[in-house]
Copies of this chain bind each other. A is one copy, B any other.
Amino acid sequence: MYDILICVNMQAGDNKMIVEKILQKSGLKKTKGRVQILGLLVNANKPLSIEEIECLVGTDVHFVTLYRMLHQFAKSGIVYQTDLRKGKVHYELQKKHHHHIVCSICGVQEDVPMCMDALQASVASRSKKFNAIDNHVLEFFGVCKKCS
């Protein structure tokens, strides 16, 4: 988890600072590309697919670099990989753990602040093969108000 959590009331321009802190903390070098991509993810506030990122960033970052960067970010725990049933992996900044509701028609997303951490222990206790559970994925699907 990053300092972004305690910066909720910051101005938009301060995103640059957030990005720098994230990179600093992870020990990754601060390059133009990384700043740009992380900036996008900070602003996006929702999971982005590689395709979407590629589109937003234009030709500034080579797609090979993009793949390498996102792998690196995921490995460093900076971003989080989510599947939203669109056939493609999406990446999201690793903020406070939360979930999403996704519209099956237009794909619009909404954050669900609630979390099931408490549930994990109870599930683990009833498991035969597992002693503990350390993570989970939870996504909701429905039709949004606009589409219904």
Contact = CB atoms under 8 A, between A and B. Distances in A.
Nearest to A87: B89
A83 B110 CA distance: 20
A140 B136 contact: yes
A120 B140 contact: yes
Interface in A9-53: none
A85 interface: yes
Contacts of A139: 136-137
Contact of A130 (B114, B124, B142): B142
Interface string A95-121: 000000101100010101010100010
A101 B81 contact: no
- Which secondary structure dominates chain A's binding surface? strand
A52 to B, nearest CB: 18
A56 interface: no
A135 B129 CA distance: 27
A145 interface: yes
A128 B110 CA distance: 8
Given A136-B140, A137-B137, A137-B141, A123 B130 contact: no
Contact of A142 (B134, B146, B148): B134
B142 A124 contact: yes
Interface of A: 81, 83, 85, 87, 89, 101, 103-104, 108, 110, 112, 114, 116, 120, 123-124, 126-146, 148
Given A83-B83, A87-B89, A110-B129, 12 more contacts: A81-B85, A85-B137, A101-B129, A103-B129, A114-B123, A116-B116, A129-B146, A130-B142, A131-B142, A135-B142, A137-B137, A137-B139
